Structure 1
């Protein structure tokens, strides 16, 4: 295993990549979401409003205008956890900015033997493997450039993509 570095040391990748940034989300929820006011409001029945001027969405729009693509697959349980439901409820803002977000049932992810960890993959060459503790808090990441490991993630992504449904379609069924 490569040494862990703070996630913040990889944030330049979100603006520096040229073609694709892909995210695989495997968790049932994230500590940062649960700590936020939007999640707390969601748990009280208030739908999260899109945030078009959030720095994430601004960057997605800018990269899309340059021809780059953000995409992600979120693995969900059946039924989805509160954390997974929150992510689907907030996805509309990311999609409006230009991100393609898909949802895949955990059983399908297991059949495909997808990685069981969260990750980002940039331009088919840089893998950011996230290390998340039992409280769902990111404790660090590994930067991996090994072609064999990167190619394995590319294969997994490609196998899962055609089976994953658009987040909005799944959210319409489970909300």
Structure 2
């Protein structure tokens, strides 16, 4: 839900310098996430990600969008929701992953987008899990599939 994350990432720096279509972007050995997604999806697990973004998008979101094609090819479903369409939604205050409808992992970031010292918070509190599940479902229903989203 942020417009920039870990801008210190060397891949982001290279992207800012014009590096595009680096073979490493699609290589599961160099981007382990791709292999993990392919393995999970191969086992029948559905992996969905929704990104809430300001428009016009930041350079970092352009970078994320550039790196999303390989994750979609690996099996992750990704949708984009312009922030202006999220005003009526109740959203948790932090990015999160919801696992099997029963566990939430929140990610905490500092003001400059770097991971905070206490970067992960796990909860299975039913009220919090329900809030996150409902928020994700609301975002997902409004968001645009990656293949159809055009950067503004």
State the TM-score, normalizing by the size of structure 2: 0.88
Structure 2, unaligned runs of 5 or more: none
Deviation at residue 47 of structure 1 after TM alignment: 2.2
Name the counterpart of 1:162. 141
Contact 1:126/1:145, CA 8 A, preserved across alignment = yes
Other-structure match for 1:52: 27
Equivalent of residue 37 in structure 1, options 10, 35, 40:
10
Q: Distance in 2 between matches of 1:44 and 1:168?
A: 25
Q: How far did residue 109 of structure 1 move?
A: 2.1
- The alignment yields a C-alpha RMSD, in angstroms, of 1.6
Partner of 1:8: none
Q: How does 1:100-111 map to 2 (within 5 A)?
A: 100-111=77-88
| Long gaps (5+) in structure 1 | 1-25
Deviations 1:67-91 (A, max 9, x none): 0011111111110011111111110
Moved over 4 A (4+): none
Contact 1:52 1:97 survives alignment (8 Å): no
State how many pairs are aligned: 146
Q: Distance in 2 between matches of 1:165 and 1:147?
A: 29
| 1:116 corresponding residue in structure 2 | 93
Structure 1 counterpart SS, 2:148: helix
